[in-house]
């Protein structure tokens, strides 16, 4: 088990998860910085991700789609607000319509990643995921929590199988 801590803050609509890895910071940064590695973990095996554009500089974008077992494509995007390789990455994470444009009907989360040397070697990775707005959460609640979350987060069932 590599997850060492989880904190949920309902007032600020925020979840923070901390994990530790044996690999050094530079190696863990690669799982974000190398689109071929990112594709292997962002989506569950049954919903593999294909990264189309990948620019982790501030102001840059990552565009990707996930393919369902039936072959349906679900597009998503990141907008990078901060990047300090190999220690820090912050981006907005949202969903796109059929044309690849941001879909305003789907909730946006803000993701902040920090990678730090761990005492005794390895890496401590902290990820904070915040629902950008109250409206973003209300969209999910209005869709029905389960259905909304499945749609927004790429099929929880598939994730649990993986």
Partner 1 sequence: MFHALADATRRDIVAVVLAQEQSVSELARRYPMSFAAVQKHVAVLERAGLVVKRRHGREQRVRGVPGVLREVHGLLDQLESLWRARIDRIDRILDEGASP
Residues that bind partner 1 (CB under 8 A): 2-3, 6, 8-10, 13-15, 17, 19, 21-23, 27-28, 31, 37, 40-42, 44, 109, 125, 127, 129, 131, 137, 140-141, 145, 149, 153-154, 156, 159-160, 162
Minimum CB separation of residue 87 from partner 1 in Å reads 17
SS3 content of the chain, % helix, strand, coil (to 5): 25, 40, 35
Minimum CB separation of residue 138 from partner 1 in Å reads 9
> Helix 134-142 crosses helix 145-153 at what angle (to 10 degrees)?
110
Between 14 and 79, CB nearer to partner 1? 14
The tokens for 39 are 């594709």
Between 30 and 103, CB nearer to partner 1? 30
Minimum CB separation of residue 99 from partner 1 in Å reads 26
Rounded Cα gap, residues 62 and 52, in angstroms: 7
- What single-letter DSSP state applies at residue 148? H
Nearest CA among 31, 6, 41 for reference residue 123? 31
């Amino acid at each position: 088990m590599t997850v060492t801590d989880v904190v949920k803050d309902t007032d600020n609509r925020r979840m923070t998860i901390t994990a530790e890895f044996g690999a050094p910071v530079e190696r863990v940064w690669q799982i974000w910085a190398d689109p071929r590695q990112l594709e292997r973990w962002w989506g569950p095996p049954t919903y593999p991700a294909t990264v189309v554009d990948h620019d982790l500089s501030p102001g840059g974008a990552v565009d990707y789609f996930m393919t369902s077992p039936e072959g349906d494509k679900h597009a998503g995007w990141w907008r990078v607000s901060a990047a300090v390789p190999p220690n820090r990455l912050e981006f907005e994470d949202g969903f796109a319509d059929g044309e690849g444009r941001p879909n305003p009907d789907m909730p946006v989360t803000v993701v902040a990643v920090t990678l730090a040397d761990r005492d005794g070697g390895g890496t401590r990775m902290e990820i904070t995921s915040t629902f950008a707005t109250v409206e973003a959460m209300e969209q999910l609640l209005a869709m029905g929590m389960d259905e909304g979350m499945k749609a927004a987060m790429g099929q929880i069932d598939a994730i649990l199988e993986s």
